[in-house]
Amino acid sequence: MTRPKHIGAEGSETKDTLLVFPTAFPIKAMGRMKAAATDAANQSFAQTVLAIVQKHAPDFDATTLEMRPSKNGNFISVTATINATSKLQLDNIYRELTAHPTVLMAL
């Protein structure tokens, strides 16, 4: 039986995080919806986020991806809840998401 890595454990990557891996971890990316945005444009943003997430978490199930427009329809958020295995994995996802020109913010 594999035991989870705990905070500060010797040889653990989790010395500087409060998370215990593996864990379900939601990643949210937000982008701007254009005034004349179509469903295809929104799907394109979701596909971009999905591609980045699956690059770093290949076991992510794309059918669980959640997409929501903002109240006024100016922004769109895409949430992917992954099975995070390390802080390094999460850092790499956030770095790539925030570097993408269509992603305004990643939480």
What is the value of pTM for the model shown? 0.81
Locus of tokens 């943003």 = 45
Ramachandran area for residue 16 (φ above 0: left; ψ -120 to 50: alpha; else beta) = alpha
- pLDDT, residue 88, reads 96
- pLDDT, residue 98, reads 97
Cα distance between residue 22 and residue 35, in whole Å: 40
- Encoded tokens for 28: 């949210």
Are the C-beta atoms of residues 20 and 86 closer than 8 Å to each other?
A: no
Are the C-beta atoms of residues 17 and 7 closer than 8 Å to each other?
A: yes
- pLDDT, residue 42, reads 73
- pLDDT, residue 35, reads 56
- pLDDT, residue 7, reads 44
Architecture of domain 23-106: 2-Layer Sandwich (3.30)
Q: State which residues of the chain have pLDDT below 50.
A: 5-9, 14
Domain extents for the chain? 23-106
